[in-house]
Amino acid sequence: MDMRQQVKKAPVPTWIIFLLASACGLIVANLYYAQTVIGPISITTGLSSAAAGLIVTLTQIGYVIGLLFIVPLSDITENRRLVVLFLIVLVVALIAAAFSPTAVVFLTASLFIGIGSVVAQILVPYATYLTSEEQRGRVVGNVMSGLLLGIMLARPVASFITSLFGWQTVFVFSAIVITLLMLLLSRALPARQPEPTLNYGQLIVSLGTLFRTMPLLRRRAFYQASLFGAFSLFWTTVPLRLANDFDMSQQGIAWFALAGVGGAIAAPIAGRLADRGLTRILTGAAMVIAAASFGLAYVFQSHSTLALILLVIVAITLDMAVSGNLVLGQRIIYSLGNEARGRVNGIFMSIFFVGGAIGSSLGSWSYANGGWSLTTLIGLIMPLLALVYYFTEKKAAVVSKHL
């Protein structure tokens, strides 16, 4: 036990944090590559336009399955070996997707791409085992910056590659990158062997117990689900607004998506400020910024250059709010139980992604039925709901927990 504590207190080498951040970004990007190239994929595989949404849905379902049933294994299984095993699953799924002869094969591959991509959520809590409590916010912030950059860059990168070489190249290229990453991680990462007190069945049952007995976990998961729901709603519908109201091409939309990458700078900043005890005020600020972003998008609905510039600003500020709050939430939940971090992270991220799925669905429905006006109103309501819940937080109890 003393030896483990000493490892935690030792400074984490910068290159390991950079490696973990890069790995998380490259892995999680696989969840989003298909989103902007669904059209070409559907044509090649013979998937009907009505069923094309299954590509994104099955990838997300696979990811949630992995969060609930694979990520908890990191609490009882040697972490490095677990990472390598599921990166192999991801590589096989990417190759299958690239060379899919039919829609059924591609959809099956999409499910397993989602499952394999949960390795990113094994690596994030793994990083916290390497550091002390005093460093945790900074380390989580840096690693999450890499993950968020992967999320934000995946869509424009896929669009650019597809326009030049075809959509299959996106998956082949990713398979090569993930293979090289797997070899690097297998050699570079320190081994981490947990001391299991539960078998796998007990581990899965304990997910419900953890959710029930950890009010901070429930609270932070709801906060992030609300903000990520708004984020997903925005990025599901803004390409339609750009194409319909500003006559943007696929490449133009890709360039717009790159603007949102600027929001990732909030993650390391939030982590450092959280280490100084500012978690509570930053949480409220994130919700206000997200709501204000949608308020700005609602007010300026013209087709003018000014409206487009403001839409770019909205993309950046919304991404800042979501990425900053995510780091704040993860810093808190990782302090709730050292030997249960894998399970706690799995619960948190599952709820977080369910919020995203709801946001995407609401975005598609609202844009089809009420246009950009209804969409931005719903986007405004989601962070406001989180803000109302935030005001029920008991400050004294939260501060003591956060510190």
DSSP annotation string for 108-162: HHHHHHHHHTTHHHHHHHHHHHTS-HHHHHHHHHHHHHHHHHHHHHHHHHHHHHH
How deeply is 398 buried, as exposed, middle or buried, from its count of CB atoms within 10 A (0-12, 13-18, 19+)?
middle
Q: Pick 316 or 36 by higher pLDDT.
A: 316
Which pLDDT score, from 0 to 100, does residue 3 have?
41
1-196 and 199-403, same CATH topology:
yes
pLDDT in tens, 165-197: 999 999 999 999 999 999 999 999 888 888 777
Q: Please check the confidence at residue 101 and state whether its pLDDT lies above 60.
A: yes
State the virtual CA torsion across 240, 245, 250, 251 in degrees, nearest 10.
-130
pLDDT in tens, 40-90: 888 888 887 556 667 777 888 899 899 889 988 888 889 999 999 999 999
Q: Please check the confidence at residue 312 and state whether its pLDDT lies above 70.
A: yes
The domain segmentation of the chain, as residue ranges, is 1-196, 199-403
d(CA 294, CA 291): 5
Between the alpha carbon of residue 15 and those of residues 131, 150, 271, the distances in Å are 14, 18, 18
The CATH H-level superfamily of 199-403 is MFS general substrate transporter like domains (1.20.1250.20)
Q: What is the mean pLDDT of residues 124-149?
A: 76
Which pLDDT score, from 0 to 100, does residue 266 have?
78
Residues in the chain: 403
Q: Please check the confidence at residue 10 and state whether its pLDDT lies above 70.
A: no
Which pLDDT score, from 0 to 100, does residue 261 have?
76
Angle between helices 279-299 and 215-246 (to 10 degrees): 20
Six-digit token pair at 120? 């990113």
Which pLDDT score, from 0 to 100, does residue 254 have?
79
CATH number 1.20.1250.20 is the correct assignment for the domain at 1-196: yes
